[in-house]
Structure 1
């Protein structure tokens, strides 16, 4: 999984704490974590294409959440950045083993493929069950000062 997933999740979380409703420029969002602006902007564009954030043009433009954080799952963000493909891709190398058979679909019969598929489904189910609002609530309960510190940090970078 690319580091873009971590960047996108943290950036979306930061956007949940923006109270004035104004979009935040990509450069400001990137500077907050000392990330390369061009690369974070690519992640933000992927999030925009997926309807997670919206992009506002112009001198007061930037990015803001496009949906309620209760309606954005962690899986939504992962899929926006990484794509919908499975993390494990069975290449069916058993076909080329000494006792392999070319006509068998080893994705269905290979125990390793089955174990990996089951793990992927569990992983995806867990990510789909957790929303951005859930993550926000957990952060706020563990680190109560984070929302205000984030707002102040982003505000000072906007100026």
Structure 2
């Protein structure tokens, strides 16, 4: 299983925003340079995070991005869903009804992974 690079950048960006001042926004240029990614590409990722309600965009000369939710409430799963969506990782392509044992196993594994990611908050990473 593999998540996209966008998810990787989103997770790192959100961690940086959790560590940043809750008042002073962080510029996209700084966020992009610290990860070695283009500001244009990161802006597209930030737009998804804004739409999800986790961060907000601040306009102006000293504008940028900052958290719009409490940092204690943001989980890894929130960020992954904002970037990847909520579709299941595995879909059985064979037509043999709801009795597919492989589909059942994969759904169980995905549920366990999602539970772990839902219970892991970004602030947990800072405390490590």
Fold agreement, TM-score > 0.5: yes
The one of 93, 110, 116 equivalent to 1:120 is 110
Q: State the aligned residue count.
A: 126
Task: Write the mapping of 1:72-151 to structure 2, written as runs, cut at 5 A.
Answer: 72-91=74-93, 93=94, 95=95, 104-105=96-97, 108-138=98-128
TM-score, normalized by length of structure 1? Answer: 0.75
* 3-state SS of 1:23 partner: coil
The one of 32, 52, 55 equivalent to 1:53 is 55
Q: Which runs of 5+ in 2 are unaligned?
A: none
TM-score, normalized by length of structure 2? Answer: 0.92
- Which residue pairs with 1:44 in the alignment? 46
- Which residue pairs with 2:5 in the alignment? 3
Quote the offset at 1:126 in angstroms: 0.3
The one of 15, 32, 35 equivalent to 2:34 is 32
Conserved 8 A contact 2:57-2:66: yes
The structure number with the bigger radius of gyration is 1
* 3-state SS of 2:105 partner: helix
Conserved 8 A contact 2:6-2:45: yes
* 3-state SS of 2:69 partner: coil
Conserved 8 A contact 2:56-2:65: yes
Quote the offset at 1:90 in angstroms: 2.2
Runs of 4+ aligned residues of structure 1 deviating over 3 Å after TM superposition are none
Mapped partners of 2:99, 2:118: distance in 1 = 27
Mapped partners of 1:48, 1:67: distance in 2 = 11
Mean Cα displacement is larger for which, 121-130 or 52-61? Answer: 52-61
Conserved 8 A contact 2:22-2:66: no
Mapped partners of 1:11, 1:57: distance in 2 = 18
Change (3 A) 1:110 1:132: same
